[in-house]
Amino acid sequence: MLEQIEGSLAIAKAIALCRPEVICAYPITPQTHIVEGLGAMVKSGALEHCEFINVESEFAALSVAIGASATGARSYTATASQGILFMAEAVYNAAGLGLPIVMTIGNRAIGAPINIWNDHSDSMALRDAGWIQLYAETNQEAADLHVQAFRLAEELSCPVMVCVDGFILTHAVERVDIPTQAQVDAYLPPFEPVQVLDVDAPVSIGAMVGPEAFFEVRYLQHHKQQRALGLIPRLATEFREQFGRDSGGLVRRYRTDDAETIVVALGSVNGTVKDVVDAMRDEGHAIGVLTICSFRPFPLTEVRRALAHAKRVVVLEKSLAVGLGGVVSDGVRKALSGIVLHGHTVIAGLGGRAITRKSLRELFERAERGALGQLEFLDLDWNVVEREIARTRRKRRAGPTAEAILRELGTVASQIV
């Protein structure tokens, strides 16, 4: 049923429909509304057969999910930013143990400096932990991906992260079609664990594994993600058949077939990019956008297929590998191995810096003109940067950079963007 609803609540409703059995939550902006919504549903009785546990840290949150999942309960938690780092040990642990936990990441920047706004540094920090990572473009997709995530996680026995842009999606009120219980039940069968703590059939889970076997165990995790490359599209197709809309899958192409310039991006920014692409297409530019939904496993074949014919590729990403450059673009380059074209990495939106149509339009036109470098930073204030570099060069004990820049900027609240 169509609802005008906050993204977080749409996600909460979708999760509730998946019949979760254990939900554990530690609050962190911007995921709070999701777990608050679920908590209210459990407390009121709207969501039955579910234990909602308020834990004392993110590390505890995922640990509770690990114990619950190992006991055969469908388990869920959510976090962001500092929280996913605080539970980092448990993130690797859940993947290594093959527990089908679903976790929402309300994408938010990681400090220092502390920042509550959106970028992808948090989920990217744990991209190699062995979790499947799916990125939602809209709140509709955010809700839908959770339904697919439980199915995917349980079929593979692999945890899944659903990444949803903090504030931009989580706190946006928009139209979402909330499925019915019958629809979700038809798509998501009850949880049948691969391994389970059962007094009638005791097993030991989590033993130390030495050099004689660790390599094989770790490889099999990688193999599981290779299987996911086939399963994710199949589940998306099945989803379309049952729910009547496209959500998820590995990648999504928009006007790329005859494009000379193709933009690649994850998450909500794809919406803004599509508006710019349409405006430029109306003026005769051959431009399109490739949305990557599954970032882990990284769909090398699909990305290659979509981009191979382009003259230039602009990877627009909300993550910075400090000391190197792009994160997503690494995967894209790998996918394009052997193909010669102009590839550009554009870092944008870090710490919630707005990504505007105007700036994107200028950026794409520069790309078409061949005036784009290999690594660019969209709307970075170079004046501020240069002044700060000069300031720190003047004396050794120059004080903290962040505070110095903020002092320069003046009253932030009086600015629109």
Partner 1 sequence: MTRETVNVEPLQAVKFYQTGTFTVGNRLLDEAQRAVQANMRRTNSLNSGHRACQGCGEALGARYAIDAAMQAAQRRVIAVNATGCLEVFSTPYPETSWQIPWMHSLFGNAPAVAAGVAAALKVKKRGDVKVIAQGGDGGTTDIGFGCLSGMFERNDDVLYVCYDNEAYMNTGVQRSSATPPAARTATTMSVGPHPGNVFGTGKNVPLIAMAHGIPYVATASVANLRDLEAKITRAMGIGGARYVHVHVPCPLGWGSDPADTIKTARMAVESGLFPLFEAEAGEITARYRLRKPVPVEAYLSLQKRFAHLFTPQRDDATIAAIQSIADRNVRRFDLA
Partner 2 sequence: MFQVRIHGRGGQGVVTAAELLSIAAFAEGRHAQAFPSFGSERMGAPVMAFCRIDEREIRLREPVMNPDALIIQDPTLLHQVDLFRGLAPSGFILINSSRSFHELGLQDFVSGFPADHLCTVPASDLALEHVGRSVPNAPLLGGFAAICGQVRIDSVTTAIRERFTGRTGELNAAAARAAYDRVVRQRTQAQSDADHAHA
Does residue 337 sit in helix, strand or coil?
Answer: coil
For position 67 contacting partner 1 by CB under 8 A, the verdict is yes
E strands along 309-412, which residues? 312-317, 342-347, 375-377
Largest alpha-carbon pair distance within the chain? 72
* Residue 355 near residue 269, CB atoms below 8 Å: yes
For position 203 contacting partner 1 by CB under 8 A, the verdict is yes
Distance of CA 64 to the CA centre of its chain: 22
Tokens of 355: 């990504």
**Rounded distance between C-alpha atoms, residue 118 and residue 170, angstroms:** 10
Number of residues that bind partner 2 (CB under 8 A): 33
Which one of 174, 260, 330, 365 is in contact with partner 2 (CB under 8 A)?
A: 174
Among partner 1, partner 2, none, residue 53 binds (CB under 5-8 Å by kind): partner 1
- Per CB under 8 A, the segment of 211-219, 327-335, 350-358, 398-406 that binds partner 2 is 350-358
For position 389 contacting partner 1 by CB under 8 A, the verdict is no
**Rounded least distance, CB 4 to partner 2, Å:** 4
Among partner 2, partner 1, none, residue 375 binds (CB under 5-8 Å by kind): none
For position 190 contacting partner 1 by CB under 8 A, the verdict is no
**Rounded least distance, CB 172 to partner 2, Å:** 4
Nearer to partner 2, 82 or 268 (CB): 268
DSSP 65-134: HHHHHHTT--EEEEE-HHHHHHTHHHHHHHHHHT---EEEEEE----SSP--S--SHHHHHTTTSS-EEE
Q: Which of residues 222-281 bind partner 1 (CB under 8 A)?
A: none
- Per CB under 8 A, the segment of 5-13, 71-79, 131-139, 334-342 that binds partner 1 is 71-79
Q: Which residues pair with 261 in a beta bridge?
A: 287, 312
Q: How many CA atoms lie within 13 A of 14 on its CB side?
A: 32
Whether the bond between 297 and the residue before it is cis, its omega within 30 degrees of 0, is: yes
Among partner 2, partner 1, none, residue 116 binds (CB under 5-8 Å by kind): partner 2
| Residues near partner 1, by CB under 8 A | 21-22, 24, 49-51, 53-57, 59-61, 63-73, 75, 89-90, 93, 97, 197-199, 201-210, 212-213
| Residues near partner 2, by CB under 8 A | 2, 4, 6, 116-117, 138, 165, 167-168, 171-175, 268-272, 274-275, 352, 354-358, 412-417
